[in-house]
Chain A
Amino acid sequence: MRSITAGVVVALTGVGAACALSGKRGAAERQPDASAFVDAAAGAGDAQAIYDPYPPGILPSDLDAEIGRVLREIDSIERQAIAEWHALTPPTVAGNPPIAQGTGAASIELLGKLMNYDKSMSPRRNQACASCHMPYVAFSGPIPSVNLTMVAYSGTSYFRAGKRTAQRYTYSPFFPVLHYDEDQKAFIGGNFFDSRATGYLLRNPDSEQALHPPVDPEEMGFPDIACVAYRLSHAEYRSLFEQVWGEGSFDIEFPTDTESICATPGGAAIFGGSATPIPLGPGDRTRATVVFDRWGQSLDAFEQSAAVSSFSSKFDAFLAGKARLSADEAAGLKLFDGKANCNSCHLDGRGTTLKTGQTDTSTKAGVQPLFTCFGSANLGLPLNPRVAFYYEDKPDSVGQIGNPLGFAYRDLGLGTFLRNGLGAGPSPSADWTQYAQATDGQMQTTTARNVAMTPPQCPTTEAPGPYFQKEFFHNGYIKSLKQLVHFYNTRDVYKYDVTSGHCPPGTTEKVDCWPKPEVPNNMDMTMGNLGLTDNEEDQLVAFLQTLTDGFTRPYVDAGTFTGQCMSGGSAKTQGNELLIPTPPLPPCAPGVCGVAPVPSPAIP
């Protein structure tokens, strides 16, 4: 295994700390705590060849050490969850229909938790869901240097990565099944930025979502969904699965070579494009599929549980009349509902915009607001040339090419999904395809809840900190909440006809220069010139920080981060030292922009 060499200094200290992007190649020592990584990679019996089509500086220098760190954190949470399970009184099945009385709910939530932190749910036993979704950042990406550089997280095939940020999944179970609303003439619901986890079959997008990563070659990467049933049948917590979902769940006759098939990442040339390389008879195939669906439903139970979606923020306490907002937070809320108009998309269940001297007398929202309308919009983000996916145009060790289009790929979000397009997969409804042009560039409105959650020892996302480096929006272009609000406020004020890394001399990218959008179609104009002052932007940030769970009661596993905080610099330019010039962009590839109904107007 080679050492990771691109030099990115992770622990920034002092203002303007230099992040050497060059001259460090070959110099970085592999750190001792990378051993977890080596063990994990060796788990499958063969040391894997590292996939590295990346130019220097794309991968962070501490990547293998950080993956090792996260895997250790995952193992320790899994051990505790096993102990919790042993301490749980088994439920008594009673009634008709039979209900697991007493601890039935706790059992399925715990089962989901055990699955979330189980790294054997990947061919090389080196990746769990939690690898990209850790509790101390509200189940989003746990590696600061990845958030700062390559944006997407490596899957089971190190270091093959996807194209988007690892989304927070708090509150994802509350999204409705994707549907086209005839009155709104808009798509509502689904999971993922492009809503492609529709929930059409399980009737729950979040359960369906959990069926994607296990067989996504850029994520956990099994070649066959039956591998999930196979590995679960060997899991330490198998009996809990059987208790929740029924004895006999695993009565499946797996062929003797199942383990070796499952140890080979999906997409490998030897499978010849088959999605079912494990030869199972129809009955066994169906049983394996049922187990796979149960996997999704169990993970959904965990994600909906109070351990994940806990409605325990300061704002929740404020709604309940149990906490007062500070002057800045209250001013931020007023802006959110009023001048900044954020709640036209991030519905907060509050009353109208207030004039000076008025107080909010609206009755307490009947349900806790989710800070999303479940719909989608194109905010006009610039293409982020750091996203690892753009560089994955060469085959990996098993012969798969992640992104044959290189920089000719464009992320059209919902539009591509409706066309059954590249990177989104099949859509279950041909009726939807007609709306593709109207949704090009749209991404789902993320809940604003927990956007500011960080580990306790790095109490903020904002420089100078000490802070935890997160990444924001689907392509991680934005690196602090100050920048996020400033983007909404000034996108059209500081619009320049350049790509990222090419702002004119005398301007500073993200401060007084916003590069052009990756997808100009359907750009939302609710935002872009809000007329907020610098202080008002800060007040909005203060308000967003009240949406972090763990205020009214501790957030489960929030204290499990064992990495380092960063410090220094300014939130306005956080991460700017790592901006790279976007290469001259080839036109959008026919594989994306040539699929009918083709985007209109044409996307450059």
Chain B
Amino acid sequence: MSKMWIVALTVALTIGGVRIIEGPEIERVDPDFAIVRWTSTNPGGSPVHQGVVHYGTDSEKLIQTAQSPVRLNPNHPSTVFRVRLNGLRPRTTYYYRVDSRDAAGKDDGLKSQLQHFTTR
């Protein structure tokens, strides 16, 4: 039972933080709505974590933030984060970076590249 958990823990220790394994990418994009999705090593800690997306139309100024809760599965080596972005403007390009936080608001220390998407 604890085998995978130990693997995840070791990985986290060697790399020295939570690491993105897949994404971030756009799961779905509408004229006014998008879902950003990524998979990271399981950050552990409080069962509920928040996925956070910093975004904006100026790549230098990601002034908006969206966050959505996910529940960690202590038995899974990795965690899928998905965040809802509401109230977007149609046919507009948005730039974004992601991170995640534990329930107390403590940053999991993710490093994510600047990405972009365009609404429909």
Contact = CB atoms under 8 A, between A and B. Distances in A.
A529 B46 contact: no
Contact of B27 (A350, A351, A377, A492): A492
Contacts of B76: 338, 341, 344, 352-353
Interface stretch (A251-259, A456-464, A519-527, A582-590): A519-527
Contacts of B72: 344
Given A524-B70, A525-B82, A526-B70, A185 B48 contact: yes
A363 B1 contact: yes
30 contacts: A184-B46, A184-B48, A185-B46, A186-B103, A337-B75, A338-B76, A343-B73, A343-B75, A344-B47, A344-B71, A344-B72, A350-B75, A351-B1, A352-B76, A353-B75, A353-B76, A373-B47, A375-B47, A375-B48, A377-B69, A492-B28, A523-B68, A523-B69, A523-B84, A525-B51, A525-B69, A525-B82, A526-B69, A529-B27, A529-B82
Nearest to A355: B4
A344 B73 contact: yes
Contact of B81 (A185, A345, A377, A525): A525
B86 to A, nearest CB: 7
A421 B3 CA distance: 46
Interface string B34-53: 01000000000011100100
A526 B104 CA distance: 19
Interface of B: 1, 3-5, 27-28, 33, 35, 46-48, 51, 68-73, 75-76, 80-84, 86, 103-104
A245 B111 CA distance: 63
B32 to A, nearest CB: 8
Contacts of A337: 75
B4 A526 contact: no
- Bin chain A's interface residue count: 20 to 34
A528 interface: yes
List the 9 shortest-distance A-B pairs measured between CB atoms, nearest first.
Answer: A185-B103, A351-B1, A344-B73, A362-B1, A525-B82, A352-B75, A352-B4, A525-B68, A344-B71
A524 B71 contact: yes
B76 to A, nearest CB: 6
Contacts of B27: 492, 529
Contacts of B47: 184, 186, 344, 373, 375
Interface of A: 183-186, 337-338, 341, 343-345, 350-353, 362-363, 373, 375, 377, 492-493, 495, 520, 522-526, 528-529
B56 to A, nearest CB: 18
